[in-house]
Amino acid sequence: MTTEVRSPFIALSDRGASLTHVEGNNDWDVKNGDVRSYEETFQTLLSKRTFADIINERKKQGKKSLVIDLMGYGKVLEGIECEAGLAVALSDQRSPLDNKKSILITGNVLLFKTWEKINDWLTKQDVPDKKANLILCRPAAGIRGLTDNIDLHFTLLNNMWSLLSRDSGILFTQLPFMSIDSRSRILEWQKEMKIKYPKQDCEIIPLPPELAFLGGVARFTKTPDSPDRLPTLQELQKTA
């Protein structure tokens, strides 16, 4: 497998530097969720498996795994035995008692340079394709302050997609269903994806009423047949 030389990330300009994303919203109900709590959020998409099962299946095939906890402090990584784990958050909020086995990069995901830092970490890992095998993105209430711009959320999704291994890398992510518009655009996008890319794993599920304020959750698996970039709704509709 080859390593991409050109930056795979869709340009997020550092205009974002003027955004005021700061840590410390203490009203966050979930802050340092463990693996069980993440599995609960994504349970419908896990179909009775655990994240550890996914990594163990790779282990049985003699494969190493890199796991990323995006928009989190990495506590979830303590419950997944992988070769290397990376957490990405606005700041390091881990307590001295936390197991700091994984690396934590501090950075704003709305900034291009944060994605470059993640990519730098991946390129230093001892795996052939320098890509992640499992990406978890559960900002919980943190998704609400991120941006109202659905196109920007889509760019973030595509940047996560760029980090993912084609060797069945799986992304579990929260999606913004906060407005009726964003919800219907995302579900429309999924419908079009299933028509144009029937083999592409692309499962999107609105969270149950008690968690609806967090939006929806999604699972994507990347394989050699997957597109390099996830097409936008406009692109999918143009090729109709």
Binding site for ligand SAM (CB under 6 A): 21, 23, 28, 30-33, 71-73, 89-90, 108-110, 138-142, 146
Shortest approach of ligand SAM to residue 35 CB, angstroms?
11
Q: Which of residues 87 and 127 has its CB atom nearest to ligand SAM in the complex?
A: 87
Min CB(178)–ligand SAM separation in Å? 15
Q: Which residues pair with 201 in a beta bridge?
A: 221
Taking the least distance from each CB to ligand SAM, the nearer of 72 and 231 is 72
Residue closer to ligand SAM, measured from CB, 108 or 168: 108
Nearest distance from residue 209's CB to ligand SAM, in Å? 20
Do the Cβ atoms of 145 and 199 come closer than 8 Å?
no
Shortest CB 85 distance to ligand SAM, Å? 13
Q: How far is the CB of 26 from ligand SAM (least distance, A)?
A: 10
Minimum gap (Å) between residue 167 Cβ and ligand SAM: 25
DSSP letters, 92-152, are: ----TTS---SEEEE--TTSHHHHHHHHHHHHTSSSTT--BSEEEE--GGGGTTT-S-HHH
Closer Cβ to ligand SAM, 30 or 103, answer by number: 30
* Beta-carbon count within 10 A of 196 CB: 15
Helix axes 150-163, 180-196, angle to 10 degrees: 40
How far is Cα 44 from Cα 31, in angstroms, rounded to an integer? 22
| Cβ nearer to ligand SAM, comparing 31 with 191 | 31
- Nearer CB in complex with ligand SAM: 152/205: 152
Strand partners, 67: 85, 134
How far is Cα 47 from Cα 34, in angstroms, rounded to an integer?
Answer: 19
Q: Which amino acid is at 82?
A: C
